[in-house]
Amino acid sequence: MVLAGIVLVLFFATMAGLFYYRETINKIGEVKEEAYNEYPRLYAYIADDPESQLSGRIYKEISEYAVQNNCFVEMTGQGLSTSYSKADRINIAISSKVDGIIIEGDDSEETKNLINKATRKGIPVVTVLSDSAGSSRKSFVGLNNYSLGTEYGNELAAIGKETNTYPLNVLILLDRDDGNSDDIIHSAIQQAVLGKSIILYSEVVDTSTPFTAQEDVMNILDDLSKKRQMPDVIICLNDRTTESAIQCIVEKNLVGKTTILGYYDSDTIKKAIDRGSVYATFAIETKTLASHCIKALNEYNNTGFVSEYSAASYILINRSNISQYDQEGDENEG
Q: Is position 21 within any domain?
A: no
Return all residues near 250 (Cβ < 8 A) that are at least 6 apart.
277
Closest among 164, 239, 240, 227 to 201, alpha carbons compared: 227
The predicted model gives 167-179 an average pLDDT of: 86
Give yes or no for a contact between 314 and 285, defined as CB atoms under 8 angstroms apart: yes
Confidence of residue 7 (pLDDT cuts 50, 70, 90): low
pTM listed for this prediction: 0.79
Candidate from 15-19, 96-100, 134-138 with smallest mean pLDDT: 15-19
Closest among 226, 234, 225 to 189, alpha carbons compared: 234
Provide the domain count of the chain. Answer: 2
Q: Is position 13 within any domain?
A: no
The most confident of the ranges 15-24, 201-210, 220-229, 255-264 is 255-264
Q: Do 252 and 174 lie in a common domain?
A: yes
Bond preceding residue 231 cis, omega within 30 of 0: no
Q: Do 303 and 208 lie in a common domain?
A: no
Q: What percent of the chain has pLDDT over 90?
A: 63
Q: Do 149 and 138 lie in a common domain?
A: no
Q: Is position 334 within any domain?
A: no
Q: Do 169 and 278 lie in a common domain?
A: yes
* 330 pLDDT more than 60: no
Q: Is position 88 within any domain?
A: yes
Strands (E), the chain: 42-46, 72-75, 100-103, 125-129, 139-143, 168-175, 198-205, 233-236, 259-263, 278-284, 309-312, 314-318
Q: Do 57 and 78 lie in a common domain?
A: yes
**pLDDT of amino acid 111:** 95
Confidence of residue 198 (pLDDT cuts 50, 70, 90): very high
Name which residue leads in pLDDT, 16 or 173: 173
The domain that holds 273 is classified in CATH as 3.40.50.2300
Give yes or no for a contact between 66 and 291, defined as CB atoms under 8 angstroms apart: no
Q: Is position 11 within any domain?
A: no
The predicted model gives 180-206 an average pLDDT of: 91
What secondary structure does DSSP assign to 60-106, as a single string? HHHHHHHHHTT-EEEETTTT-SS---HHHHHHHHHHTT-SEEEE---
Q: Is position 322 within any domain?
A: no
* 329 pLDDT more than 70: no
What range does the domain containing 241 cover?
A: 145-284
Q: Do 159 and 250 lie in a common domain?
A: yes
